Amino acid sequence: MAELHYQHQNQRPFFSYQNDPHQQSRSTQVVKAATAVTAVAALILAGTVVALTVVTPLFVIFSPVLVPAVMAVALLSLGFLASGGFGVAAITVLAWIYRYITGKHPLDTARHKLVKKAREIKDYGQQQITGEQAS
């Protein structure tokens, strides 16, 4: 058990863990956990080295097939992504043109909202100024 000693100057307790079995078991647990983590890391490293040793000759043998296949898959993926992006851009432009032709000018709407908000802020500021002057 922990021994509780009192200092005569401060009358504050301090704890001595010299005979505490739980403190020793915590340090033992930390050492065990560190050992386990190190062992797992060593196993992962060994597995990686073995896997690379086995797979490297396969990569060398099949590289005339794998390299063009990877390039083709990459180009196809980029093509699909680009066509999707161009499609979204086209739909956005067509929607904007439709709204513009039907009279719902998107830029005018944004300008009107901005002007309205500016007027509200101006009116609020004038009310605050006139309210302070009247007081």
Q: Do 82 and 125 reside in the same domain of the chain?
A: no
Question: Quick check: 9 pLDDT over 90?
Answer: no
Q: Could you tell me which residue, 100 or 7, shows the higher pLDDT? A: 100
- Is residue 3 within 8 A of residue 19, CB to CB? The reply is yes
* 45-75 tens-digit pLDDT: 999 999 999 999 988 998 899 899 999 999 9
Amino acid 134: pLDDT: 67
Q: For the chain, what is the radius of gyration of the CA atoms?
A: 37
Which amino acid would we find at residue 133? Answer: Q
CB contact set of 99 (below 8 Å; sequence gap of 6+): 105, 106
Instruction: Identify whether residues 79 and 110 lie together within a single domain.
Output: no
Q: Do 53 and 78 belong together in one domain?
A: yes
Q: Are residues 91 and 115 in the same domain?
A: no
State which residues form the domain around 27.
Answer: 21-104
pTM above 0.75, yes or no: no
* DSSP at 9: T
Average pLDDT, the chain: 84
In this structure, is residue 4 part of a structural domain? no
Structure token pair of residue 101: 């032709």
pLDDT in tens, 81-99: 999 999 999 999 999 899 8
CB 1 within 8 A of CB 15: no
CA atoms within 13 Å, Cβ hemisphere of 25: 3
Shared domain check, 75 and 86? yes
Output DSSP code: residue 2.
P
Q: How many domains is the chain built from?
A: 2
**88 and 32 fall within a common domain:** yes
